Structure 1
């Protein structure tokens, strides 16, 4: 049975607008063969659980053939499945099962760079005159032998690595083993578009495009200017990394990218109901880039930047500011919001310092995320309220963390194995020695524990996702903020004839406030215990109130 034959999905080209997408980090989801690493069969086995959440799609982080220096984000064969994860038959089975459950599948494409083990790069570095000699970003040294310019790597140090065969430097925005492709070369573009087409023909429903604003570099290799200290932040790279000392005008965010994104979209448009979300890796002008990339209906369907993945405290003013800033920067665009992913500290830990009831906080954050204007990405384990795991230095796998330890501990703390059963070996993830240790603090939050507790974070996610589906205003509606003082955050979502008033208490104390002047019908089914009492609304700590305005 093919994925198409098994599908119960409708060919809705607008499915992505307001969709809830569940991100899976394959290494850490479910191990079925005892090697300590999650695999595609494990994802397939857990799809009924994912379907029970009520999400619209899954986003699967890279599973392509790779030496795993950056755990799959260093691809050595774009059309192959790494043996750690299975094979193409396993991928096809996963697609078929997902579609049979009404779940769309998006895959993570890493097009800005490859592994240095990719055949393209092996050929490119072999000489200055081979057919692929210009497929990567090569440059001569300065007269004194130093790198061509001052560009820096996100993973630390220069963005240039010397190659003794070509007697030139090659560019790498990330690890030295992740050379950057030269998308100024149209042959490279054609090769990447063939990758896109390969997976579309295999049945995928869309893509998450990694580091989408890194695709092109300045042909003249001009130095980046210094960034004023007051403009530096740690949203793209940790504060200990001098990457934050530059204004990244020339090593990324180049205008040539717009035409390539149009070419990428044109291929998607040949297939029914395909969508793409681009990751904009820039904390300086991320929303402006998102606006450019989603304008005109001929590039990305949606983008997400780092605003809600940043360590900045989440306050009512911050939420409204980010939503307003996106609307200003991308008036034609559509946001895709995420509070956590595989690259940042889990949001319950990142924002929850000093909060005594982390379950209540996790429920509030889930509800807020799902009522903002835009689509939503949920990262695996977020629905359990998982905190950032404490991984010892000797157990670290992430080269980023190893480089900057102990000031920055890397990304392993959000990548530890999923906990399914508190009584099973390794929390039910698998029986072999796990690639990262299972966090003991996660076991009391395992799926098996939360399934048995109707008041759990897991059941709240299910309830609120069902509540969200009942009201089209949440998925596709406009947003208008109301004037409230902290800790209250209020806004109205409107779509067609429906207006839904949302009010949140972003504090640990019960708050009572005056009700809005409109007539309203209180909405139930969301799980919160807030109450309308005559002219006032009472909201317990970390809770929400919802009503249809009439």
Structure 2
């Protein structure tokens, strides 16, 4: 199926935290392979593996020192090949994370580049002279705090790092760099992967003139925790040259048949615009996602505005929507502050996500209704939390190990002390506990994803939003032969909705929660939802 990715369910695996089979407290490829049946039973079409390449792990694998090998903490290339083979046996596609915008400072390319201004790889990274007073070349800031420039004494120059100083940015204006990176992509295509998640895809190119970013208006009396949010990032990312390189990537992957690429777009002011541009037509990315649904806004207006905004900008493009991933607090915790019951909110969330037009992503553990683990400062590993604690506790809370067996050591993740702790609130939601409970979040996920698979309208159909009062969201999905309407209560309070004229002859189908058809109205309990078929 050439376009298997269109409307697919992609399950994200954070390898350090999925399953440890080697006994060192860190998850590994063999552990993932053993647990793939769980992902298959859930109803996913593909897995996305966060980075497993060789790395010093300054940013947990997003600092790559060898693009063509597996880090020993995760296993070997043979283990990777076995994982791909097992996934394919189970009908699962395999997408791997490609971190192309930057490498580790321990990569041989950077070791060569930092030596001198005249070596064979002198121009493979972004280097610039200091200002006359010795300061950084411009005002660009790092996502992880502080200036985006680091002084290198050997070259007497600064190098650019949009993230950690240990993650120098590659110079995409150099054609040799682009060719080398395409070779790394080709290596994994030859090993049988089905696609790529492109990390920080809009960070590839920088402004050659190194112009200062302009400020964004600051509405607050004090600046945000991270001043990065005070700039309009016109020149350090999201540059127009990116489109041509995406076409090069697409041409390469197309030569291998049914492959797919999904790009991560991180931009504070133009994310939907970039998602649209990066997926328009058939010569760029297959799909893209941004952080639009990974934030705190849990309102019908926000979801409608985001979806309609994307398709208005790119009617032939394709989005990928997720509510959680390894970079943000889990959505049950983010949204439960509105007073919702954790299980009800988890079930509502997957029903809502399953109704959205596009491809959908599930982050490991959300099918258990997990919220973030509460960690103390001494338990942290994430550079974000270590720098900005306690105002920003970092990303470790959403990265703690997957709980498989409630009563086993470390909830069945490992017999050794895990790299992040498994605490009682997470262990209590282990897979084995939820397997035994037909009303669990896990069973709800399976039911809703199976329902979505049975209905072509939900995977690939057109869409129309119903004009409903807040906090209700209504969405109709349709193909020529299949029409499904979902109505969702995004509030912990019950609501009664008189049925719109077009739905008065409808019947309830598929999974539902706290919903009752009462004559000409729907009674929706707290975080209730219902799927309807037109009469």
TM-score using structure 2 length: 0.98
Contact 1:232 1:244 in 2 (8 A): no
| Cross-structure match for 2:134 | 145
Q: C-alpha offsets along residues 263-306 of structure 1, whole Å, 9 cap, x if unaligned?
A: 00000000121001000011211111111101121000111011
| Cross-structure match for 1:5 | none
| Cross-structure match for 1:292 | 277
| Cross-structure match for 1:404 | 388
Distance 1:231 1:353 in 2: 23
Residues 260, 117 of structure 1: alpha-carbon distance in 2 compared, 3 angstrom cutoff: same
| Cross-structure match for 1:259 | 244
Contact 1:232 1:245 in 2 (8 A): no
Q: C-alpha offsets along residues 346-387 of structure 1, whole Å, 9 cap, x if unaligned?
A: 101111114252101110011101111111010000000001
**Structure 2 spans left out of the alignment, 5+ residues:** none
Aligned counterpart for 1:469 among listed residues 453, 476, 489: 453
Q: C-alpha offsets along residues 224-248 of structure 1, whole Å, 9 cap, x if unaligned?
A: 1111114999xxxx93011011110
Residue 99 of structure 2 is aligned to residue 114 of structure 1: no
Aligned counterpart for 1:248 among listed residues 233, 236, 250: 233
Residue 193 of structure 2 is aligned to residue 204 of structure 1: yes
Aligned counterpart for 1:89 among listed residues 70, 75, 78: 78
Question: Cα RMSD over matched residues?
Answer: 1.4
Distance 1:477 1:95 in 2: 30
Distance 1:183 1:520 in 2: 57
TM-score using structure 1 length: 0.95
| Cross-structure match for 1:430 | 414
Within 5 Å, which residues of 2 pair with 1:444-463?
444-463=428-447
Within 5 Å, which residues of 2 pair with 1:15-414?
15-230=4-219, 239-311=224-296, 313-414=297-398
Contact 1:206 1:275 in 2 (8 A): yes
Distance 1:524 1:511 in 2: 20
SS of aligned partner of 2:428: helix
SS of aligned partner of 1:146: coil
Distance 2:185 2:55 in 1: 18
Structure 1 window deviating more from structure 2 (224-233 vs 326-335): it is 224-233
Distance 1:468 1:204 in 2: 25
Q: C-alpha offsets along residues 142-183 of structure 1, whole Å, 9 cap, x if unaligned?
A: 111111111000000100000000000000000000000001
**Structure 1 spans left out of the alignment, 5+ residues:** 1-11
Contact 2:81 2:191 in 1 (8 A): yes
Aligned counterpart for 1:481 among listed residues 462, 465, 470: 465
Distance 1:156 1:316 in 2: 33
SS of aligned partner of 1:540: strand
CA displacement at 1:521 relative to structure 2: 4.3
Contact 2:496 2:524 in 1 (8 A): yes
SS of aligned partner of 1:314: coil
SS of aligned partner of 1:445: coil
Distance 1:156 1:332 in 2: 37
Aligned length, in residue pairs: 534
